[in-house]
A and B are shown apart, each in its own frame.
Chain A
């Protein structure tokens, strides 16, 4: 009875919410029954997407991954495409930057810094991004890798904020999706090379995959976005197929190949 009263009381609040809260009651958004209290609850739909450094640092704790081997060979940045293509590509370049920092490869970080500036120019966000790129260059020259990670993280956040300020939240999501795909591609490569279940557990992220799928479903359909959505649906299914602590090696391999195909579409090589 108390729960019913709570839900009845909560309904108008849910309807009035303008903070990205769910239209569904918590009971339909959570995998468990919320404890009934006098405080009505609202589930926020947005999910904080972890940056690649948060995941990579776990693998560092579990061994000594060869990050250098999972860096993409450097090639000229592919220019052009619509803003969705650019946003997806921007996300992958930021993730590539995190990989290059894990590999402590200053040449690649500096090259990627230049790519970030060029892409931000194409997106009309050069002024916002340029100070971060300068900081990345300075920190790289001092081999201050923690600082480079922070600046890459801030670059991502700055671009997302700038896109949201011009009411382009969908584009901001594309940056996150591109980054997550490239980050997951690198993770699965490292895990696959020296597999164990502890490492594979990092891939238990079906909620994030579901979140991205929902965001893509809300966007206008394009061939590129539809392909990514289909890939994410497959990844999500693979992530829930096994318990979190026993994701098998072949699942890791399969997720890797799906991510690789999508990342290759987002960042085709300029020098094939």
Chain B
């Protein structure tokens, strides 16, 4: 278990040095998420290396399509490295219904749990707000068990 935890934490450093300047800023959100996942790794969640990131204006939403499989329990985490922002995550099924059954919030990382009742495409909605409008980074990571 410790090996898995170390391997996951090392992902943060693995991507860090090779990235270009702009990519580094974006990857800060990704790093924040990876650093918060120890508890989930210990609970046997697998965190795929594939993740989404980008930039967005606060006061807007990004919608990411994600294939989820019935039979797995999923956690999805989103973060921004910009302080003073609020980040919210929702997961909708193909009818637009919210399927989130648990939420966590820690610093600038927010997480939601989904137990899909059907295999298919789901829609992850990331909303970031702040008192003053600005362009911020975001990252989305998921894990399954």
| Chain A residues proximal to chain B, CB less than 8 Å | 10, 13, 19-21, 26, 29-35, 37-44, 46-51, 53-55, 57-58, 61-62, 144, 146-147, 149-150, 153-154, 156-157, 161, 165, 198, 201-202, 204-208, 211, 244-245
Contact = CB atoms under 8 A, between A and B. Distances in A.
A211 to B, nearest CB: 8
Contacts of A156: 49-50
A26 B60 CA distance: 13
Contact of A146 (B4, B20, B127): B4
Interface in B51-102: 51-52, 54-57, 59-67, 69-72, 92, 94-96
B119 A207 contact: no
B71 A58 contact: yes
Contacts of A49: 50, 67
A43 B63 contact: yes
B61 A47 contact: no
Nearest to A164: B23
Contact of B71 (A10, A33, A62, A144): A62
A204 B48 contact: no
Contacts of A38: 59
Q: For this complex, into which size category does the number of interface residues on chain B fall?
A: 35 or more
B48 A153 contact: yes
A154 B50 contact: no
A147 B63 contact: no
10 contacts: A19-B62, A21-B62, A30-B63, A34-B96, A44-B64, A48-B142, A51-B50, A153-B48, A205-B67, A244-B120
Contacts of B11: 154
Contacts of B51: 48
Given A44-B52, A48-B64, A204 B14 contact: no
Nearest to A41: B61
Given A20-B54, A207-B120, A42 B49 contact: no
Given A147-B4, A150-B4, A156-B49, A54 B61 contact: no
Contacts of A32: 92, 94-96
Interface string B7-41: 10001001100101000000000000000000000
A40 B7 contact: no
Contacts of A53: 46
A43 B46 CA distance: 26
Given A54-B48, A54-B69, 7 more contacts: A41-B62, A41-B63, A42-B61, A50-B48, A54-B46, A62-B71, A245-B118
Contacts of A144: 3
Nearest to A62: B71
A259 B139 CA distance: 33
Contact of B54 (A19, A43, A150, A211): A19
Contacts of A21: 62
Contacts of B118: 201, 204, 244-245
B72 A42 contact: no
A233 to B, nearest CB: 18
Contact of B72 (A37, A43, A57, A157): A57
A153 B49 contact: yes
A201 to B, nearest CB: 5
A54 B52 CA distance: 17
Residue of A10, A38, A144, A201 ringed by the most chain B CB atoms within 10 A: A201
A40 B67 CA distance: 23
Contacts of B144: 54, 57
Given A31-B94, A201-B119, A58 B54 contact: no
Contacts of B96: 30-35
A58 B73 CA distance: 11
B71 A154 contact: no
A162 B63 CA distance: 26
A29 B134 CA distance: 26
